[in-house]
Structure 1
Amino acid sequence: MKKTHDEVESQRTRQTSQPPQVINIQISIPTETDVLEEETEEEVNVESNQYSACVVCKHFHGEEYGGNFLVCGMHPYGWQDGNCPDYEE
Protein backbone atom coordinates (compact mmCIF):
# COMPACT_ATOMS: atom_id res chain seq x y z
CA MET A 1 0.00 0.00 0.00
CA LYS A 2 1.45 3.32 -1.03
CA LYS A 3 1.59 6.08 1.59
CA THR A 4 0.46 9.58 0.85
CA HIS A 5 2.74 12.58 1.21
CA ASP A 6 0.96 13.62 4.43
CA GLU A 7 1.40 10.16 5.96
CA VAL A 8 5.14 10.14 5.14
CA GLU A 9 5.60 13.65 6.61
CA SER A 10 3.63 12.68 9.73
CA GLN A 11 5.82 9.60 10.26
CA ARG A 12 9.00 11.63 9.68
CA THR A 13 7.88 14.25 12.20
CA ARG A 14 7.21 11.57 14.83
CA GLN A 15 10.63 10.00 14.24
CA THR A 16 12.56 13.26 14.46
CA SER A 17 10.62 14.82 17.33
CA GLN A 18 12.50 12.81 19.93
CA PRO A 19 15.49 14.58 21.48
CA PRO A 20 18.91 13.35 20.35
CA GLN A 21 20.80 11.03 22.64
CA VAL A 22 23.88 12.44 24.30
CA ILE A 23 26.82 10.07 24.39
CA ASN A 24 29.78 10.88 26.61
CA ILE A 25 33.04 9.63 25.09
CA GLN A 26 36.37 10.08 26.80
CA ILE A 27 39.64 9.32 25.05
CA SER A 28 43.23 9.62 26.14
CA ILE A 29 45.79 10.71 23.58
CA PRO A 30 49.41 10.18 24.65
CA THR A 31 51.64 13.19 24.44
CA GLU A 32 54.98 13.13 22.65
CA THR A 33 56.72 13.03 26.03
CA ASP A 34 54.72 9.93 27.05
CA VAL A 35 55.69 8.14 23.84
CA LEU A 36 59.39 9.03 24.16
CA GLU A 37 59.51 7.88 27.79
CA GLU A 38 57.90 4.57 26.84
CA GLU A 39 60.25 4.00 23.91
CA THR A 40 63.42 4.65 25.90
CA GLU A 41 62.24 2.86 29.03
CA GLU A 42 64.13 -0.36 28.35
CA GLU A 43 67.87 -0.38 27.85
CA VAL A 44 69.28 -3.12 25.69
CA ASN A 45 72.63 -4.73 26.32
CA VAL A 46 74.23 -5.17 22.93
CA GLU A 47 76.48 -8.18 22.68
CA SER A 48 79.75 -6.96 21.23
CA ASN A 49 80.12 -9.95 18.90
CA GLN A 50 76.56 -9.83 17.51
CA TYR A 51 76.52 -6.18 16.36
CA SER A 52 80.22 -5.32 16.58
CA ALA A 53 80.32 -3.60 13.17
CA CYS A 54 76.97 -1.92 13.77
CA VAL A 55 77.82 -0.41 17.16
CA VAL A 56 80.47 1.88 15.68
CA CYS A 57 78.41 2.77 12.59
CA LYS A 58 76.95 6.26 12.20
CA HIS A 59 73.49 4.73 11.58
CA PHE A 60 73.42 2.46 14.66
CA HIS A 61 70.30 3.05 16.75
CA GLY A 62 70.37 0.27 19.34
CA GLU A 63 67.05 0.78 21.13
CA GLU A 64 64.23 -1.62 21.93
CA TYR A 65 60.61 -0.80 21.07
CA GLY A 66 57.88 -3.09 22.32
CA GLY A 67 60.33 -5.96 22.68
CA ASN A 68 61.83 -5.44 19.21
CA PHE A 69 65.47 -4.37 18.99
CA LEU A 70 66.07 -1.78 16.26
CA VAL A 71 69.66 -1.94 15.00
CA CYS A 72 69.39 0.84 12.39
CA GLY A 73 66.96 2.43 9.94
CA MET A 74 68.42 0.74 6.86
CA HIS A 75 68.68 -2.73 8.38
CA PRO A 76 66.32 -3.00 11.36
CA TYR A 77 67.63 -6.46 12.29
CA GLY A 78 71.27 -5.78 11.45
CA TRP A 79 73.35 -6.88 8.48
CA GLN A 80 74.05 -10.59 7.94
CA ASP A 81 77.85 -10.25 7.83
CA GLY A 82 80.42 -7.58 8.63
CA ASN A 83 80.25 -6.00 5.14
CA CYS A 84 77.19 -3.77 5.42
CA PRO A 85 76.84 -1.62 2.27
CA ASP A 86 75.51 1.31 4.33
CA TYR A 87 78.29 1.36 6.95
CA GLU A 88 79.60 4.83 7.80
CA GLU A 89 81.93 5.86 10.62
Structure 2
Amino acid sequence: MWRTKEWKLILYIEGSVRDAAARVDDTKGELYHLTDDPGEWVNRYHDEELSAIRERLKTELLMHLAVAWSKGPMFYDKGGIQPLES
Protein backbone atom coordinates (compact mmCIF):
# COMPACT_ATOMS: atom_id res chain seq x y z
CA MET A 1 0.00 0.00 0.00
CA TRP A 2 1.22 3.49 -0.85
CA ARG A 3 -0.48 6.64 0.31
CA THR A 4 -0.09 10.33 -0.40
CA LYS A 5 -2.19 13.18 0.94
CA GLU A 6 -4.55 12.83 -2.04
CA TRP A 7 -4.29 9.17 -3.16
CA LYS A 8 -4.13 5.63 -1.76
CA LEU A 9 -2.89 2.71 -3.87
CA ILE A 10 -3.12 -0.95 -2.87
CA LEU A 11 -1.46 -3.68 -4.97
CA TYR A 12 -1.82 -7.42 -4.53
CA ILE A 13 -1.39 -10.76 -6.27
CA GLU A 14 -3.89 -13.43 -5.25
CA GLY A 15 -2.64 -16.89 -4.30
CA SER A 16 0.46 -18.17 -2.58
CA VAL A 17 3.73 -16.27 -2.24
CA ARG A 18 5.60 -19.26 -3.65
CA ASP A 19 4.50 -18.71 -7.26
CA ALA A 20 3.69 -14.99 -7.09
CA ALA A 21 6.61 -14.03 -9.33
CA ALA A 22 5.16 -16.16 -12.13
CA ARG A 23 1.84 -14.31 -11.80
CA VAL A 24 3.14 -10.74 -11.66
CA ASP A 25 1.04 -9.89 -14.74
CA ASP A 26 -2.06 -10.75 -12.69
CA THR A 27 -1.44 -7.92 -10.21
CA LYS A 28 -4.69 -6.44 -8.97
CA GLY A 29 -5.17 -3.14 -7.28
CA GLU A 30 -7.26 -0.47 -5.69
CA LEU A 31 -6.88 3.28 -6.10
CA TYR A 32 -8.80 5.80 -4.03
CA HIS A 33 -8.95 9.58 -4.32
CA LEU A 34 -8.90 10.43 -0.63
CA THR A 35 -9.92 14.06 -1.09
CA ASP A 36 -13.15 13.19 -2.94
CA ASP A 37 -13.68 9.76 -1.37
CA PRO A 38 -12.29 9.71 2.20
CA GLY A 39 -14.29 6.56 3.01
CA GLU A 40 -12.62 4.69 0.11
CA TRP A 41 -15.88 3.56 -1.47
CA VAL A 42 -15.01 4.08 -5.17
CA ASN A 43 -12.10 2.04 -6.54
CA ARG A 44 -10.57 4.09 -9.40
CA TYR A 45 -7.78 1.62 -10.24
CA HIS A 46 -9.07 0.84 -13.74
CA ASP A 47 -9.99 4.42 -14.68
CA GLU A 48 -7.93 5.16 -17.79
CA GLU A 49 -7.90 8.91 -17.11
CA LEU A 50 -6.00 8.15 -13.89
CA SER A 51 -3.45 5.78 -15.43
CA ALA A 52 -0.57 8.28 -15.08
CA ILE A 53 -1.34 8.75 -11.38
CA ARG A 54 -1.69 4.98 -10.85
CA GLU A 55 1.65 4.28 -12.56
CA ARG A 56 3.44 7.08 -10.67
CA LEU A 57 2.20 5.71 -7.35
CA LYS A 58 3.22 2.16 -8.36
CA THR A 59 6.70 3.40 -9.20
CA GLU A 60 7.00 5.26 -5.88
CA LEU A 61 5.88 2.15 -3.97
CA LEU A 62 8.25 -0.19 -5.80
CA MET A 63 11.20 2.20 -5.37
CA HIS A 64 10.45 2.47 -1.66
CA LEU A 65 10.35 -1.33 -1.34
CA ALA A 66 13.60 -1.73 -3.30
CA VAL A 67 15.42 0.73 -1.03
CA ALA A 68 13.97 -0.79 2.15
CA TRP A 69 14.86 -4.33 1.11
CA SER A 70 18.39 -3.34 0.07
CA LYS A 71 19.10 -2.14 3.62
CA GLY A 72 18.27 -5.44 5.28
CA PRO A 73 18.93 -8.51 3.14
CA MET A 74 16.63 -11.34 4.11
CA PHE A 75 15.52 -14.57 2.50
CA TYR A 76 12.38 -16.58 2.98
CA ASP A 77 12.34 -20.32 3.57
CA LYS A 78 10.34 -22.89 5.53
CA GLY A 79 11.94 -21.56 8.71
CA GLY A 80 10.46 -18.11 8.16
CA ILE A 81 12.41 -14.91 7.74
CA GLN A 82 16.07 -15.27 8.61
CA PRO A 83 18.96 -12.82 8.12
CA LEU A 84 21.38 -13.58 5.36
CA GLU A 85 24.70 -14.80 6.80
CA SER A 86 28.02 -13.64 5.40
The answer to whether TM tops 0.5 is no
> Which bin holds the TM-score, normalised by the shorter protein?
under 0.3
Higher strand share: 2
Radius of gyration: which is bigger? 1
* TM-score normalised by structure 2 residue count: 0.22
* TM-score normalised by structure 1 residue count: 0.21
